[in-house]
Structure 1
């Protein structure tokens, strides 16, 4: 609890800044400052509690003005800045200070104080929303209850799940930049640490992002990329409060809001003005109020809407939705009718429409087809603010990013250029570092041989001492920490004689009147490497289920080899893993009766070894969970693979390892993927699902990509 003298000083400052402070607000704020400040860890917490109330008192003050006032109040009550002299000792007042007199005597030209002392305003009327007061009090009460609950949990010694934590070194320059009128939108985080439980993800790392550049964050699975994005989004790493951040991570909650309106509502300023305009017109049309102030305010609202070009917003939102695959009919549907994948697209559309100062994207291409990916690449190339994107799609990174941030060995290295430039520069840098290390080691060894030879020779004592001093002055170079190579190994199987899998004259639909496929004829054998492409909703997953035998054709036949054992992988199987078990227990639950070493060996074939195999699945990264699902699929020793988007959440190295493993696999492969590099490495045949049939493209992925680009060009 703060001292009473400090609280009185804070109230006097508040009254000098807000002459219209009425008794109700004064009692509310005074109650917070005198009794409840311990519940606020930062200035932002205090601003959240009283900021909206203070803004209501003086419409001329901006949120930044109110935040500065809260900062002064917070410093006084916490005794962190105010009242401490340059030697670090508390100042002692020899006489009472009357703040009002000081304010009147200040020189108006003094810039140092003009931002602190504010003139009294003629209008002393107070228009305070009591509902906001009650809402602020409820927030404080909720925070107190949460803190009490956390304290109780710790005191009872109950198990607390591992969460990410961060520590960050701040400088006086950072504080000055965030509070000055010349605010920068560059982001500079220096010497910060991030840990997940006992595992240190980053140690003494630096992250610098210039405003308007597009950064790709790359690194191995489980190294902390997604954790870093979440900590930036949650402000657990200190970023200036004036920088708006939006993290596209969770799907939109389904309700009765139309998809187009869901995007439009993201622009809260436009939405609030539209609502206000509607309410004013209702009052004027009903005749209940004819106040000239309403007409004046309505004119102001119309002017603000015109300045922001609000009439163009629906067209811009529609263009974004169309680019992400929403047809005009889908844009008019309510959000609860969409699946999870489409709601993720809707969340991406909302972010693109909002244009925050820092846009955080985590695997944005996972839920998109090739057409939507190409559109997104083109759209982001002219993005006006800063982007930080985590993606495994090499072609997407090459098309979008201007810089690469490489997370490895608990640090972040920055590289200019796209992903291809990054790989070239990094390989060259590693070679030079290794050469420098080898040369210095050879020089050190040469000197050490001389020291060891003449260490006890009195005639050479001065020379030995000189060599020892030379060794001490040499900079210490560390050997290059090479990342372990990723290897995936699928079990060996016997080759099957053709035909292995075939569809003859197949008609399929969920009703005879609404067919999805008509007269479908496709076949594959043990050497097939087929990629299925097409727009979302064209029927790719339905085709896979017909090939698997999960769906029966209305007419026609599915013919499969009698010895075929299909290994089916999809993101659905990853989501169905028991998150409470470790990876060994997941395999043992599905295939019991084997020794623990057998399960470890199986997991090790897919890069899940050592301590990773004993960790709960819930603590693994998305890519590590996918590897566990691969290991589970391989337990049946399949001789034919059907893989639906297997690269989701896998890092670059694992995708390359997957391509090599599939090329060595003796059975057939049918793949649904939008990863252009993987398709080029594996597939020799391309099936295009379109217009209720399947067409074989002789030109492969290049021909399909050209078709998509021509279609997008025609739409524009």
Structure 2
């Protein structure tokens, strides 16, 4: 068996010890049962394929060699000695030799069998039962699970007769939006019941609440008009990226203004007709009318306004002139945001707009939205963004929405005080009820006190029934314990990297990290933050310089695309079992529970989970391998405020090293002791922490605006 282990190690050098032990156990325990290469491939082939880039044919060849090592005499066993025919055979003489009078010879071609070679009936029965059991197990493993149907959300609401009449007549001109007494369900689960949503024109609302309660679903119900709002109100929901085609980025934004585009097209058509010799006098008057309309809407200023928005979101002048198909998905999402900001709808719906932006673009967006002229409803988990942009906070909880005046900080103070008062009021009422009930029980059968007892009973009946405050369950993220390693742990010396000679990402990087490190990497999008992470982990090799790591270092990598790469048609337990096979179900459940995915939630399909819940599943999978150094690329995307807080606390308790790429100011301030800034072809460590970096960014933005 040791030979098999060495052979597997030589073919799959990246296999970890735990997986190696799992494969060895399967091969060792079933060594005599394997009938052919296919059976070995069915037992361990998928596992081996998952840890390498080898093709299925290569893996089957390796399985064939493993079969030969486990059963060296496979193929010759029970078949008798091999004979080589090197001379002619005379069949008649063979028959003469084998035939005698006592034989009941049925054919000259068949010799009598030795009784010792007869099959033992009991042994055959046992073997067949064993084979049947084995085939049944294989069927259970191979049986394709039916692809679960992803549920869809549904909405219902009560509309007033007055509003319906105004809508039918077309005389409803209100700019405020009132959606009253509505329900939203996702499959069998009720998200909102009897809820009210009132949006006053010109105010900016931040929608907050725990992951999975229905914030994104609510935005979709509004934008798809499944929740009825006045038909004259224009809505824009930034959810999908711009389609990539040959349209240049700046023109893609300008096309949002359909009125301007329509007038310009008419102008071009009329001008072409006049140039082609048309003498229709009406064309000149139409052209004059179009020029007046273009002047009224300040059409000539539109390109400059679109360019300012694109520049603020990180598009350089050169990028603004590029076709949309040349941009990645993240940049096309920024284009979608730029189009929405440019078109200024009556109601703008934004879902996590800061997820795709770097810190410089976030600061610009915060400043831009503070002057937003119409109604804004934004879902965000960026605490600093929620303190800066909204005029009101809407708190989604327990199937209803409560509205608070002010930013997130004011909401948090007001909500905390409100909950304390509710709890005090409940406790006081409980004491009063207990005291009154004691009086009733004491004098219930006393004739002299009968009237007092009756009045006390009536008073109890009239008391409003107060409920205890329902506290939201605290989110806790527990990262695995690690063993200490002696330094040096991680070192980059004179490291440089480029994709091509004319695209140098950085040069002469000299940085180091230990198991006590809490490092945050910041910089503009495209400055090389993710590239630096990949060099640190050895996914990319530096084009020059030396990367040195401790041989016991084990990275846990959370990429910003981890959530998108999860299998959507399995549940969380199955996902961990597929990634780390061979462990008891309880261990997978315990691991998921460490990241707040417990109970029925762990058995829901991944596709039905919210973005934040998917992120927690991705964290659980990452930590299943017990890493001692975490590399986290934008880990806060999709997480709610409470989970981001829990992530910060979890990182601070973690005994391994941490390198983090994030734009979440609160998380950076919570955990990071060192700041690495990517930009201008280099990576530098700056003194003064995040405050100093924010000042640098604000100075750059001021210089851009001048």
- For the aligned pair, the TM-score class normalised by the smaller chain equals 0.7 to 0.9
Is 1:262 aligned with 2:236?
Answer: no
**Distance between the aligned counterparts of 1:388 and 1:365, measured in 2?**
14
Match of 2:215 among 218, 225, 246: 225
Moved more, 176-185 or 487-496: 176-185
**What's the CA shift string for 1:365-388, capped at 9, x where partnerless?**
001001000000000010000000
* Aligned twin of 1:192: 182
1:543 and 1:247 map into 2 onto residues whose CA distance is: 34
Q: Write out per-residue CA displacement over residues 322-341 of structure 1, whole angstroms, 9 at most, x where no aligned residue.
A: 00000000000000100000
Distance 1:466 1:182 in 2: 53
Aligned to 1:540: 529
Is 1:210 the counterpart of 2:164 in the alignment? Answer: no
Do 1:497 and 1:526's aligned partners in 2 also have CA atoms closer than 8 Å?
Answer: no
Q: Does 1:350 align with 2:351?
A: no
How far apart are the structure 2 equivalents of 1:554 and 1:200?
55
Please name the residue that 1:563 is paired with.
552
Q: Secondary structure at the match of 1:175?
A: helix
SS at match of 2:541: coil
1:451–1:468 CA contact under 8 A, matched in 2: yes
Aligned partner of 1:307 among 261, 283, 296: 296
SS at match of 2:354: coil
Question: 1:461: how far off?
Answer: 2.6
Partner in structure 1 of residue 376 of structure 2: 387
Distance 1:271 1:315 in 2: 15
Matches within 5 A, 1:468-483: 468-483=457-472
Deviation for aligned residue 1:517: 1.3
What is the TM-score normalised by the length of structure 1? 0.77
Residue of 282, 287, 291 corresponding to 1:298:
287
1:423 aligns with 2:416: no
- CA drift of 1:515 comes to 2.1
Distance in 1 of aligned mates of 2:251 and 2:284:
27
Select which of 578, 581, 588 maps to 1:589.
578
Given that residues 497 and 525 in structure 1 are in contact (C-alpha distance below 8 angstroms), is that contact kept between their aligned partners in structure 2? no
For structure 2, the 5+ residue unaligned runs are: 1-146
Q: Is 2:531 the counterpart of 1:531?
A: no
In the other structure, the counterpart of 1:500 is 489
Distance 1:521 1:232, change over 3 A: same
Q: CA deviation at 1:444?
A: 0.8
Separation (CA, whole Å) in 2 of partners of 1:373 and 1:511: 30
Quote how far apart the aligned CAs of 1:175 are: 2.6
Question: Does the residue aligned with 1:696 lie in a helix, a strand or coil?
Answer: strand
Name the SS of the counterpart of 1:382 in structure 2: coil
* Distance in 2 between residues matched to 1:324 and 1:515, nearest whole Å: 23
**Which residue, 500, 504, 511 being the options, matches 1:511?**
500
1:513 shift after superposition: 4.7
Aligned twin of 2:426: 437
Q: How many residues are aligned here?
A: 558
| 1:626 counterpart = 2:605 | no
The question of 1:484 aligning with 2:473 is answered yes
- The 8 Å contact of residues 150 and 607 in structure 2, kept in 1 or not, is answered as no
Deviation track 1:379-419 (CA, whole Å, cap 9, x = no partner) reads 00100000000001010111111000000000100000000
Task: Please say if residues 177 and 184 of structure 1, whose CA atoms lie closer than 8 Å, have aligned partners that are also in contact.
Answer: no
Deviation for aligned residue 1:177: 5.0
Q: Deviations over 1:148-189 (max 9, x none)?
A: xxxxxxxxxx98642111110111232355446461111111
Q: Structure 1: which 5+ residue stretches go unaligned?
A: 1-157
Measured in 1, the distance between the counterparts of 2:151 and 2:448 equals 63
- Contact 1:255/1:334 (<8 A) preserved: yes
Tell me the residue number matched to 2:694.
Answer: 705
Q: Is structure 2 residue 621 aligned with structure 1 residue 640? A: no
SS of alignment partner, residue 377 of structure 2 = strand
Provide the C-alpha distance between the structure 1 equivalents of 2:153 and 2:695, rounded to a whole number of angstroms: 44
Contact 2:249–2:319 (8 Å) recurs in 1: yes
State the distance in 1 between where 2:423 and 2:593 align.
30
Asked if 1:656 corresponds to 2:645, the answer is yes
Give the superposition deviation at 1:427.
0.4
Q: How does 1:127-146 map to 2 (within 5 A)?
A: none
Please, which moves more after superposition, 243-252 or 497-506? 497-506
For 2:217 and 2:313, the matched residues in 1 are separated by 26
What does the per-residue CA deviation read over 1:487-517, in whole Å, with 9 as the maximum and x for residues that have no partner? 1101101122222111111121112453211
**What is the RMSD of the two structures over their aligned residues, measured on CA atoms?**
1.3
Match of 1:696 in 2: 685
| Greater C-alpha radius of gyration | 2
Deviation at 1:209, TM superposition (A): 1.0
Question: Quick one: structure 1 residues 309 and 512, their matched pair in 2 at CA, closer, same or farther if it must change by over 3 Å?
Answer: closer
Structure 1 residue 459, shift from structure 2 partner: 3.5
Q: Distance in 1 between matches of 2:150 and 2:330?
A: 29
8 A Cα contact 2:496 2:509, kept in partner: yes
1:297 Cα deviation after fit: 1.3
Question: Is contact 1:324–1:372 with CA below 8 Å preserved after alignment?
Answer: yes
Structure 1 CA distance for aligned equivalents of residues 502 and 337 of structure 2: 35
Structure-2-length-normalised TM-score: 0.78
Give the whole-Å Cα distance in 2 for the aligned partners of 1:595 and 1:454.
Answer: 61
